[in-house]
Amino acid sequence: MSDTRHTKVLIIGSGPAGYTAGVYASRAMLEPILVQGMEPGGQLTTTTDVENYPGYTEVQGPDLMIKMEEHARAMGTEIIGDIILDLDLSKRPFTAKGDSGTLYTADTVILATGARAKWLGLPSEEKFKGFGVSACATCDGFFYRGQEIVVVGGGNTAVEEALFLTNFASKVTLIHRRDELRAEKILINRLMKNEKIEPLWDHQLEEVVGDDMPLGVTGVRAKHVKTGEITEIPAKGVFIAIGHAPANELVKDVLDTHMGGYVVTKPDSTATSIPGVFAAGDLTDHKYRQAVTSAGMGCMAALEAEHFIAEQDD
């Protein structure tokens, strides 16, 4: 039987932005409901060491997110394991349909749906997804003990994944389309010192090759971006780490977006183009995309939702 739940603040997403919004909205006595989505804890649950979240010199991503969840719950956030499938922002109260059948109605909505991994879009990548091709080293690295692995990308994620995968792999080839990494210097230094990692500069992944019976990867073909020369690399696992795109599916047709789909917010604010709807974290941040900045925006969104509700009550 479908159920209807009303809340003053509906928080959609359970990454650092969502949980921080939960802490602040709870402390403002707004009794928020937070819907966790398909990835409770968000992107940090797909990584290992986090070394740049204040208060921790080192913490495991999944542990940090469990602590954030506990914090939000302890302050009074109602945390629900559901996925929002449809959101109607055309009138207040706003309505959101959950996969569970629950209909959520809300005076304000905080969108904190974050970002998801990008793929190259190659047919061979699609064919071997889940059978040797992955976007999550922490999830799948263990399957490649003693094997050769390829990582594609040149940002923090690619470098961290390459380093992490050396715990399992006999060799990791990092394929990057330029000859310069965009990752932080500290990570680049670690990468360059690691004897198991071999960078392949100025190359694009051309094709993942493998067997059909059973389905599995045997290697990749990489193309030099200037000469077109093809290099074949044996590998059992291929990790695509070329960045993330904002998870804007619920709002892309009703809210203003820019820079590849990031939700536009007003300057120095999390307010979107619809009064009462706020956006925080990687969904709106094309620039910094960090746990701490997402948490900061979650705080802002909850404080702005509180002001919005107070103004409506006046």
Nearer to ligand NAP, 164 or 168 (CB): 164
User: How far apart, in whole angstroms, are the C-alpha atoms of residue 280 and residue 306?
Assistant: 15
- Tell me how far, at minimum, the Cβ of 259 lies from ligand FAD, in Å: 15
**Segment interacting with ligand FAD, rule: CB under 6 A, options 45-53, 180-188, 205-213, 306-314:** 45-53
Token digits for 191?
């990468």
User: How far apart, in whole angstroms, are the C-alpha atoms of residue 96 and residue 103?
Assistant: 6
- For residues 160 to 179, the per-residue mask of contacts with ligand NAP, x marking binding by CB under 6 A and - elsewhere, is x----------------xx-
Count of C-beta atoms within a 10 Å radius of residue 292: 15
Nearer to ligand NAP, 231 or 290 (CB): 290
User: Which residue's structure tokens are 């499938």?
Assistant: 85
**Segment interacting with ligand FAD, rule: CB under 6 A, options 12-20, 176-184, 209-217, 254-262:** 12-20
- Tell me how far, at minimum, the Cβ of 141 lies from ligand NAP, in Å: 15
User: How far apart, in whole angstroms, are the C-alpha atoms of residue 111 and residue 166?
Assistant: 36
- Edge-to-edge, what's the strand order for the sheet holding 148-152? 133-134, 237-240, 148-152, 171-175, 197-200
Contacts of 275 (CB under 8 A, 6+ apart): 308
- Tell me how far, at minimum, the Cβ of 281 lies from ligand FAD, in Å: 2
Q: What type of residue sits at position 233?
A: I
What is the three-class DSSP state of 40?
Answer: coil
121-160 positions binding ligand FAD, by CB under 6 A: 157, 160
**Segment interacting with ligand FAD, rule: CB under 6 A, options 9-17, 72-80, 101-109, 306-314:** 9-17
> Phi and psi of 219, rounded to 5°?
175, -170
User: Which residue's structure tokens are 């060491």?
Assistant: 49
Nearer to ligand NAP, 121 or 130 (CB): 121
Q: Which of 202, 243, 245, 274 binds ligand NAP (CB under 6 A)?
A: 243
| Residues of the shown chain interacting with ligand FAD in the complex, contacts defined by CB under 6 A | 12-18, 35-40, 42-44, 46-47, 50, 52, 83-84, 112-115, 157, 160, 247, 250, 281-283, 289-292, 294
Q: Which residues are catalytic?
A: 136, 139-140
